[in-house]
Structure 1
Amino acid sequence: MYQNPDDRVMRDLLREAKTIAVFGISDNPSRPSYEVAEYIQSQGYEVVPINPRLDSVLGRKAYPNLLELEGPVDIVDVFRRSEEIPQVVDQVLQMKQKPKAVWIQLGIVNDEQCERLQQAGITAIQDACLKVEHFRLLGQKEA
């Protein structure tokens, strides 16, 4: 069974990250993906929305997939069902500039795909909310 990295690794990752792609973001403010993206944007991160059905979210241009990004991202925060994680990981592994980490949201577990990411040198975190962990590890900056 895949084990997430310890708090020190996650804290360092969050401190060093500047850009976070939110894969599966919604433009509905009541959806968790929107709420998390809004929070991380308020904490000073650049949010890059990934959703083929949207043109923009939170004032940022949305991209249909990870392969069409115009620049690098540090973390890919994934809001997709467990059975869709392999397709997301396929995209991550095809990116020209690989992210430092893939963060799979609370309630989603896919040990096999986390192992794939780890073998490619990419930190994998699963079954954890980026917003909750950011607040727990770093506290909240004033918006």
Structure 2
Amino acid sequence: MESDWRQNLVTTSDGIAQLLRDTRRIAVLGIKTEAQAGQPAFYVPEYLHNAGLDVVPVPVYYPDATRILGKPVYRRVADVPGPVDMVNVFRRSEDVAPHVDDILAAKPKAVWMQSGIRNEQAAQRFAEAGIKVVQDRCLMVEHRRVAR
């Protein structure tokens, strides 16, 4: 019997807490630079970095940026050396699709689409590949909740 990919869609508080306990290294797709410090795509990864997680910057723009949060920048998730526990996505819902193959190539354990980001087709492709998926939730908010 084929496994049901829907079991990889993480929607419960317990499921999210377990996912976060298993996460140490997060590639942040769409991270902003220090110059955009007031935007969630910078301050959420900054929070995670300060909380002790290994944050790997994967900006979509900012071609001149070589380091963000003091860490080297990668242009594709698949180019990040070593294993990635989670890809934290800061892209508009309609802009997630072009990144699906890149993310799949990196074989992360999980993909987390930030608040307001939901792409059912992408979520299904990740889930079918055995990757846990969270949509439309803030990683910083959930991490703070779990870390208590």
Residue 89 of structure 1 is matched in structure 2 by: 100
Distance in 2 between residues matched to 1:19 and 1:38, nearest whole Å:
13
The aligned length equals 136
Quote the offset at 1:26 in angstroms.
0.5
Instruction: Please say if 1:124 is aligned against 2:130.
Output: no
Tell me whether 13-22 or 3-12 shows the greater mean CA deviation: 3-12
| Stretches of structure 2 lacking an aligned partner (at least 5 in a row) | 1-5
Residue 70 of structure 1 is matched in structure 2 by: 81
Quote the offset at 1:128 in angstroms.
0.5
Instruction: Please say if 1:134 is aligned against 2:143.
Output: yes
Residue 105 of structure 1 is matched in structure 2 by: 114
Secondary structure of 1:71's aligned partner:
coil
Over the aligned positions, Cα root-mean-square deviation in angstroms equals 1.4
Paired residue for 2:16, among 5, 10, 13?
A: 10
Relative to the length of structure 2, the TM-score reads 0.86
Secondary structure of 1:35's aligned partner:
helix
Instruction: Please say if 1:59 is aligned against 2:70.
Output: yes
Instruction: Please say if 1:43 is aligned against 2:54.
Output: no
Instruction: Please say if 1:31 is aligned against 2:31.
Output: no
| Stretches of structure 1 lacking an aligned partner (at least 5 in a row) | none
Quote the offset at 1:7 in angstroms.
1.5
Secondary structure of 1:37's aligned partner:
helix
In percent, how many aligned pairs have the same letter?
40
Paired residue for 1:80, among 85, 91, 102?
A: 91
Relative to the length of structure 1, the TM-score reads 0.89
